[in-house]
């Protein structure tokens, strides 16, 4: 993830808020289709964040199980705290959906052609 996207993610309110279902259903005409699209995007976001976190923490991984070699690493703690403070993937996906940053396609619609 690039820095601009991370900065944007940290500016989103991490607290759960009540959503207007009529507003969510307006784009697709069906609340369930909208929720399904948001859920699919949330899974993608969650997977991306998890892969990125594991890649960063892999640098600190100890490949031996010796208890004496385990020590506190400030950088590792700071990385973990940053990812803990991020809003849940569902909140990020809902925000993308409400800001029209998420494209919703139905099964019948073909994918847009890339030129």
Contact 36, 102 (CB under 8 A): no
**Total residue length of the chain:** 115
Which residues, 6 or more positions from 83, have their beta carbon under 8 angstroms from its beta carbon? 49, 53
pTM of the model: 0.74
- What pLDDT score was predicted for residue 3? 67
Distance CA 11, CA 9 (A): 5
- What pLDDT score was predicted for residue 79? 85
Q: What is the DSSP string of 87-104?
A: PPHHHHHHHHHHTT-S--
> pLDDT (tens digit, 0 to 9) for every residue of the chain, 115 residues total?
666 666 677 778 777 888 899 999 998 899 999 999 999 999 999 999 999 988 888 877 666 655 555 556 778 888 888 888 889 999 999 999 999 888 887 777 666 766 5
């Amino acid at each position: 993830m690039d820095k601009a996207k991370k900065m944007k993610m940290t500016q989103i309110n991490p607290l759960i808020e009540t959503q207007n279902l009529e507003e969510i259903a307006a784009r697709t005409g069906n609340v369930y289709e909208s929720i399904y699209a948001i859920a699919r995007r949330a899974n993608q976001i969650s997977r991306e964040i998890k892969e990125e976190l594991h890649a960063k923490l892999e640098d600190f991984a100890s490949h031996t199980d010796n208890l004496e070699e385990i020590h506190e690493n400030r950088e590792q703690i700071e990385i973990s705290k940053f990812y803990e403070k991020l809003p849940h993937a569902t909140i990020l996906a809902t925000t993308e959906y409400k800001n029209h940053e998420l494209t919703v396609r139905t099964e019948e619609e073909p994918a847009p052609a890339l030129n």
